[in-house]
Structure 1
Amino acid sequence: MEEVEAAVTAHLDQVSGLVRALSSELRSGIGPAADSLLAFVRAVDWTEPWLVCLMAFHATLLLTAVGLRRNANLQFFFLFLAYSGVYLAEKINIYLAEHWKSFANRNYFDRSGVFISVVWSGPLIFISIVTVVSSLMTLCQLMVKWKRAELRHRARLAGDKQE
């Protein structure tokens, strides 16, 4: 029982430390976050062939998802594909960390997975958001068509009763 209490206390201390750190960063403004993002962008060699191919893959996937937005089955397939990619990001990061010399000039794949989250998971999550918004818009359009058809049907029935 004491071990559980100690573990819970340690976890609460860790969470409170994270909350304090987040709070202090939020009070300091967006400047430090923008500086960190800019430093990240400058640290990566975006001309490496594998990164160019990865960006092209994400762009193609996004354009395909937008282009096929009227097909609900393909939308759900893209959603499944995107979420599966995000789910597998940790395993992909581990594999790429072990084999980075065969395709990259530098090892970008740290244990915390920041790089893979930015260049792999981030775009996939964006694509899934676009897919969900597109699906919701299609659903809204379908609901409007359905309601109009229902109103036309009621008007026809009302017209038949009057005659």
Structure 2
Amino acid sequence: MEEVKSAVEEHMDLMADLVQKLSSELRAGLRPAYDNFIGFFHAIDWKEPWLIGLVGFHIVLLLVTIITRRKTNFQMCLFLLTLAGVYLAERLNTVLRMNSKSFSSQNYFDPNGLFISVLWSGPLLVIAMIILINTLFSLCYLIVRWKRAELRHRASIARNKEE
């Protein structure tokens, strides 16, 4: 019983420390995160052709996602392709790190994969979430249509019985 009591006390102390750290970070505000983002943004040379192409690719993919929102099968293929792109990001980072001198003025591809995560996986995940939300709305609409048809069918059966 004492072991359980000491384990619970240790857990409570750990939770109290975590809450205190979180509250102190929240009191500090979002300024440090904003400063890190601005530093990251300014460290990138946005005029490089391959970066312009990458941003253009993500914009075109987003437009295709929005335009084809009613085509469920195409959207599911697009969803799987975007998730496959995220899955392959680590390998892509390794290949690009080895060959970065051939297409880039600086090597953005660190071993931790921060750059590829932010500029490749991040937009792909946002597009995948848009597809997922669109699919959920479509499913809700189909369920409502199905239920209305079922109620109409029951009402017609009831009318036929009365006659």
| TM-score bin (small chain) | 0.7 to 0.9
Q: How does 1:116-135 map to 2 (within 5 A)?
A: 116-135=116-135
The aligned amino acid for 2:39 is A
Q: How does 1:1-163 map to 2 (within 5 A)?
A: 23=22, 25-163=25-163
The TM-score with structure 1 as length reference comes to 0.83
Q: Once the two structures are aligned, what percentage of the paired residues are identical?
A: 49
Structure label with greater radius of gyration:
2
- SS of 2:104's equivalent in the other structure is coil
Mapped partners of 1:51, 1:123: distance in 2: 13
The aligned amino acid for 2:107 is N
Q: 5+ unaligned residues in a row in structure 2: which ranges?
A: 1-17
Report how many aligned residue pairs link the two structures: 145
Q: After superposition, what is the alpha-carbon deviation per residue over 1:59-101, rounded to whole angstroms, capped at 9, x for unaligned?
A: 1111111211112211111111111111110111111111111
- SS of 1:160's equivalent in the other structure is helix
Mapped partners of 2:29, 2:112: distance in 1: 25
The TM-score with structure 2 as length reference comes to 0.83
Q: After superposition, what is the alpha-carbon deviation per residue over 1:112-143, rounded to whole angstroms, capped at 9, x for unaligned?
A: 10000000000000000000000001101111
The aligned amino acid for 1:142 is L
Mapped partners of 1:38, 1:30: distance in 2: 12
Q: In terms of mean alpha carbon deviation, does 98-107 or 123-132 score higher?
A: 98-107
Q: In terms of mean alpha carbon deviation, does 22-31 or 48-57 score higher?
A: 22-31
- SS of 2:99's equivalent in the other structure is helix
* Root-mean-square deviation over aligned CA pairs: 1.7
